[in-house]
Structure 1
Amino acid sequence: MCGISGIIGPKATKLNIRKMTEIMHHRGHDSIQHFQQNGIALGHNRLSIIDLKNASNQPFQRNNNPWVLVYNGEIYNYVELREELMLEGYTFDTQSDTEVLYQAFLFWGEDCLNRLNGMFAFAFWNTQSKELFAARDRFGVKPLYYFQDQDNFIFASEIKAIRQLVDVNLSEERMANYLTFGSYGMLNESFFDSVHQLAGGHLLKLKGHKLQIKRWYNFVTRVKQQLKQNETIDDATAKKEYIKLLQDSINLRFRADVPVGFTLSGGVDSSLLLALVNQREDASEIKAFTFYTGDEGYDELPWVEQMVLKTKTQLEKVLLKSEEVNQRHHQIAKIQDEPYGGIPTIAYAKVFESIARRGIKVVLDGQGMDEAWAGYDYYQNNSNSTIQGQSSVSPFKTNILSESFLAKAEKPNYPQPFEDDLLNKQYRDLFYTKIPRALRFNDRVSMASTTELREPFLDYRLVEFAFSLPKHHKIRGGQGKYLLREILKTYSKDVAFAPKRPLQTPQREWLAEELKSLVENAIANIECSSLANLLNISQLKEEWHKYQHGDQESSFHIWQWISLSKLVENE
């Protein structure tokens, strides 16, 4: 896990590339290195995970080959790829996955992408042909942003690094969509005009000023083939195949030359992760971490403790208090660069701080199960909601937007490549809504504590298999993630069939009471910012008044104001 940066054009100076790596110091400081020639500069912040020796530092170049690599992430199957390349006559100077990626690209070219099982964002620069090749993993676990004008092409793991070199404005369209529809942007967008992101499963080529972007991972085609294969699969066979894949995925993600831990909630996903981790020989040495707030109405701690009682796992419980939220929000807002998901994200960030203090650099979590296994309640009704547990009352308050600002909002139109409505909702959440935003939040909070987060349930083999199972394996008897619960039932029946809890923190209550000043400061900031001309401030204050007096069906609109006030403050 690292940070990468690059400049192609007149701005490619040593001073500028150092500005970019310095601002991403939190992403890795075991080694900070640069490559600079006329018209090109590359930077790398290293968090050493595999082969800790200096020979694996980046930017990486071998035997005066014209290709230079900067890479963020992990190739989990690097051992198998290394053996395959050695049979082709390649030799290796290191034990790193970096060198495996480098040699794989030299041998297979862009076709190497389909052989990689991992999370990654990387860029190769050819010093002779002056061309750039960059790619991002299938689901976009690792970030890659870029900016291009008539003179320069600049890319980085985080927006703040690009903003060190160019002035960019907040996108009014993106903000309007956020306030109107809750959208965090489409796959190639950020909240800043002129700053784009390379979408997950896509590659980028640049030569001269010609930029070419194309999809390299075709999830739809692959899944449609598997849908036909799995039409008649029975419960026992499906369970056996999924457990086999899941065990392999977890084993791959334990490959590290540093200590590994994992996070726990009381849900099916992380409980299953706990059960399988407990089967490892080193289970007693692996620490688990969970957060709680001290509010029994929201905390998942009882379910977590119930599972841990049956395992060898050491559990560390991290308490988030309301009085911490204000300061932590200011820190995380700077790290996130864009709006983020509220107090649960703040609690998660504190968990990573605790993990880092224990000297653990690699962390596993349970992201990705709900989308692959149809775990959200709205998968079982006709709702187009993307929010678990949402009532019929809209969480968005469009009456606070001026007419001209509201007119800039355009409802996101997500592709529907399948004939089945359930599959289309799952596809939307995997590639456009739930997973992209969760991965962004999680990447930033884990890297803020210089720790690497790995998601074994987002192994593409697992996602494709679960996604392509018939509906009755996912939903049965009004229960989502049915077959997954049947697997977990072996370890804990109570947890396996516990209802999904949409809220994990008392955010609604805290914002109205303990964190009242945070909200009021946000409103004051908005009044003094460029947003004031885009909003109806009197209507905003009226909504805040109603919220304080009991209209608390949802707190999402309140958090939107807090997020945007910080964004315009940092503009």
Structure 2
Amino acid sequence: MCGISGIIGQKANKENITKMTKALYHRGNDAIQQWIEDDVALGHNRLSIIDLQEASNQPFQKENSHWVLVYNGEIYNYIELRNELIQKGCTFTTQSDTEVLYQAFLQWGEACLERFNGMFAFAFWNTETKELLAARDRFGVKPFYYYHDEENFIFASEIKAIRKLIKTNLNEKLLANYLAFGSYGMLQESFFEEINQLPGGHFIKLKKSDIEIKQWYDFVSRTNKKILELQYITENEAKEAYKLLLHDSIQLRFRSDVPVGFTLSGGVDSSLLLALVNQREEAKDIKAFTFYTNDERYDELPWVEQMVTKTKTQLEKVLLTADEVKERHQQLSKIQDEPYGGVPTIAYAKVFETMAKQGIKVILDGQGMDEAWAGYDYYQNNSNSTIQGQTNASPFKTNVLVESFLAKAEKPTYPKPFDDDLLNKQYRDLFYTKITRALRFNDRVSMASTTELREPFLDYRLVEYAFSLPTKMKIRNNQGKYLLREILSDYSKNLAFAPKRPLQTPQREWLAEDLSAMVENAIISIKKSNLAVLFDTQQLQKEWKKYQQGEQDSSFHIWQWISVSKLGFNEK
């Protein structure tokens, strides 16, 4: 887990690449190195996880090779690939997955991507042909942002590093979509003009000033094929096949030369993660972490405590109070660069910080099961909602936006490549809404504490398999994740888990009461900034008063204002 940065063009020099690596210091400071030649500068911030030796530092270049690599992430199956490459005559000087990625690229070219099981964003520069090839993992776990004009191509793991070198305004259309529809953007967009993302499962080629972007991971064709293969599978066959994949995914993600821990909530996904971790020989030495707020209406702590009592797992309980939210938000808004998911994200940030202070560098989390197994309530009705537990009332307040700004909003439409409505909703959430934004939030909060977050349930083999199963194995008796619950019972019939709930924190109540000054300061900040021309500030104030007086079906709009107020417009 690291931070990468690079400049191809006139801005490539020691001073500029240093600005970028300094901006990414939190992503890794075990080694910070640069490679500069002609009009190219590459930077790397290393968080050492596998092969801690200096020889594995980056930028990485093998002797007598024209390729230079900067890479962020983990190739979990690097040992198997290393052995295969040795059989083909490759020699290795390190034990790192970095060198495996490098040699795999030299051996197979772009085709190496299909062989990787991992999370990654990397860039190869060829010193002879003067071309760049960069790629991002299947689901976009690891970030890759870039800026391109006639004179420069600049890329980095985070927006803030690019903004050290260029001036850019907010993307007002995306900002309008966020405030009107809750959209965090399409695959290639960011909240800043001219700063783009490389979508997950894509690679980019740059030669001179020509850019070519291609998709390398075709989820739709792969799952369409698998749907046909699994249409007549029995429940027992599906359970056993999925369990084999689960064990292998966990095994791969425990590969580390540093301590590993994991997060817990009270649900099915966490229960399964706990059960799988508990089967490992080193289980007694692996610690679980969970957050709580001392509010029994929302806390999942009672269920978590029941779970760990059964397994005898060490549990660290991390308390988040309203008093610390304001300061933590100040820090996290800078880390995130863009709007993020509210108090729950802040709570996770505190969990990761606590883990880091105890020397844990690798964290396992249960992200991805709801989307693969149809776990959200809106999968079972005709709703186009992307919010669990949401009523028919809109959680957004478009009346606080001036008409000219609101006119820029365009409700996002997502591809529907499948004949089945359920599959299209799952596909949307995996690649356009739920997972993409959760991965961005989680990457930033884990890296803020210089820790590496791994998502074993997002192993592409697990996602493809669950996604492709017949609907009756996902949803039964008005409950999602049916077969997954059956699988959990095979590991432990005693593991308790809470029902699926849309809210994890008392964000609604805190914003109205304990954090009301924080909301008011955000509104004042909007009024005093260039953002004021986008808002009807009288309506903004009216909606805030309504909220304080009890109209609290949703707090999304309140958090939106808080997030937007931090987006960096200069005060008048």
> 1:187 maps to which residue?
187
- The code of the aligned residue for 2:78 comes to Y
CA contact (8 A) 2:400 2:535 kept: yes
Q: How does 1:173-252 map to 2 (within 5 A)?
A: 173-252=173-252
Cα deviations by residue, 1:168-193 (Å, 9 ceiling, x for unpaired): 11011011000011000000000000
CA contact (8 A) 1:530 1:568 kept: no
> 2:94 maps to which residue?
94
- The code of the aligned residue for 1:211 comes to I
> 2:125 maps to which residue?
125
CA contact (8 A) 2:530 2:570 kept: no
- The code of the aligned residue for 1:286 comes to I
SS across alignment from 2:180 = helix
> 1:520 maps to which residue?
520
**Structure 1 position 487, deviation (Å):** 1.4
> 1:308 maps to which residue?
308
- The code of the aligned residue for 1:265 comes to S
> 1:144 maps to which residue?
144
> 1:7 maps to which residue?
7
Paired with 2:19 and 2:497, the residues of 1 have a C-alpha distance of: 51
> 2:489 maps to which residue?
489
Cα deviations by residue, 1:233-264 (Å, 9 ceiling, x for unpaired): 11111111111101100000000000000001
> 2:407 maps to which residue?
407
Paired with 1:491 and 1:123, the residues of 2 have a C-alpha distance of: 41
> 2:441 maps to which residue?
441
Mind listing any 5+ residue stretches in structure 1 that lack a counterpart? none
Paired with 1:125 and 1:253, the residues of 2 have a C-alpha distance of: 29
Q: How does 1:376-455 map to 2 (within 5 A)?
A: 376-455=376-455
Cα deviations by residue, 1:10-36 (Å, 9 ceiling, x for unpaired): 100011001000111000000000000
Cα deviations by residue, 1:344-397 (Å, 9 ceiling, x for unpaired): 000000000100011010000000000000000000000000000001111010
Label 1:98 to 1:28 Cα distance change in 2 as closer, same or farther (>3 A): same
**Structure 1 position 497, deviation (Å):** 6.5
Cα deviations by residue, 1:449-471 (Å, 9 ceiling, x for unpaired): 00000000000000000000000
CA contact (8 A) 1:400 1:536 kept: yes
SS across alignment from 1:416 = coil
Paired with 1:372 and 1:325, the residues of 2 have a C-alpha distance of: 32
> 1:159 maps to which residue?
159
> 2:474 maps to which residue?
474
SS across alignment from 2:166 = coil
- The code of the aligned residue for 2:256 comes to A
Paired with 2:253 and 2:516, the residues of 1 have a C-alpha distance of: 42
Residue 299 of structure 1 pairs with residue 299 of structure 2: yes
Mind listing any 5+ residue stretches in structure 2 that lack a counterpart? none
- The code of the aligned residue for 1:138 comes to R
SS across alignment from 1:189 = coil
CA contact (8 A) 2:5 2:155 kept: yes
CA contact (8 A) 1:293 1:320 kept: yes
- The code of the aligned residue for 1:249 comes to S
CA contact (8 A) 1:362 1:451 kept: yes
> 1:555 maps to which residue?
555
Paired with 2:553 and 2:356, the residues of 1 have a C-alpha distance of: 36
**Structure 1 position 570, deviation (Å):** 7.4
> 2:20 maps to which residue?
20
CA contact (8 A) 1:485 1:496 kept: no
CA contact (8 A) 2:121 2:144 kept: yes
Cα deviations by residue, 1:186-235 (Å, 9 ceiling, x for unpaired): 00000000000000000000000000001000000000000000101111
CA contact (8 A) 2:303 2:497 kept: no
**Structure 1 position 494, deviation (Å):** 7.0
> 1:320 maps to which residue?
320
Paired with 2:434 and 2:454, the residues of 1 have a C-alpha distance of: 17
Residue 62 of structure 1 pairs with residue 62 of structure 2: yes
**Structure 1 position 64, deviation (Å):** 2.9
CA contact (8 A) 2:203 2:216 kept: yes
> 2:333 maps to which residue?
333
Residue 362 of structure 1 pairs with residue 354 of structure 2: no
- The code of the aligned residue for 2:91 comes to T
Paired with 1:101 and 1:510, the residues of 2 have a C-alpha distance of: 47
**TM-score, structure 2 as length reference:** 0.99
Paired with 1:289 and 1:204, the residues of 2 have a C-alpha distance of: 38
- The code of the aligned residue for 1:7 comes to I
Paired with 1:383 and 1:57, the residues of 2 have a C-alpha distance of: 49
Paired with 1:496 and 1:420, the residues of 2 have a C-alpha distance of: 33
CA contact (8 A) 1:50 1:256 kept: yes
**Structure 1 position 491, deviation (Å):** 4.7
Paired with 2:522 and 2:338, the residues of 1 have a C-alpha distance of: 15
SS across alignment from 1:162 = helix
Paired with 1:570 and 1:95, the residues of 2 have a C-alpha distance of: 48
**Structure 1 position 311, deviation (Å):** 1.1
CA contact (8 A) 1:28 1:47 kept: yes
Label 1:283 to 1:315 Cα distance change in 2 as closer, same or farther (>3 A): same
Q: Percent identity?
A: 74
SS across alignment from 1:346 = helix
CA contact (8 A) 1:268 1:495 kept: no
Paired with 1:52 and 1:218, the residues of 2 have a C-alpha distance of: 34
CA contact (8 A) 1:283 1:312 kept: no
Paired with 2:263 and 2:32, the residues of 1 have a C-alpha distance of: 29
- The code of the aligned residue for 2:563 comes to S
> 1:544 maps to which residue?
544
Q: How many residues align?
A: 571
CA contact (8 A) 2:61 2:67 kept: yes
Q: How does 1:248-259 map to 2 (within 5 A)?
A: 248-259=248-259
**TM-score, structure 1 as length reference:** 0.99
- The code of the aligned residue for 1:43 comes to G
**Structure 1 position 492, deviation (Å):** 5.2
Paired with 1:112 and 1:491, the residues of 2 have a C-alpha distance of: 35
CA contact (8 A) 1:144 1:197 kept: yes
CA contact (8 A) 1:303 1:495 kept: no
CA contact (8 A) 2:140 2:200 kept: yes
Paired with 1:123 and 1:18, the residues of 2 have a C-alpha distance of: 18
**Structure 1 position 568, deviation (Å):** 3.3
Q: Which moved more, 1:419-428 or 1:229-238?
A: 229-238
- The code of the aligned residue for 1:29 comes to N
CA contact (8 A) 2:271 2:497 kept: no
> 1:171 maps to which residue?
171
Paired with 1:390 and 1:570, the residues of 2 have a C-alpha distance of: 35
**Structure 1 position 498, deviation (Å):** 3.7
**Structure 1 position 310, deviation (Å):** 1.2
SS across alignment from 1:33 = strand
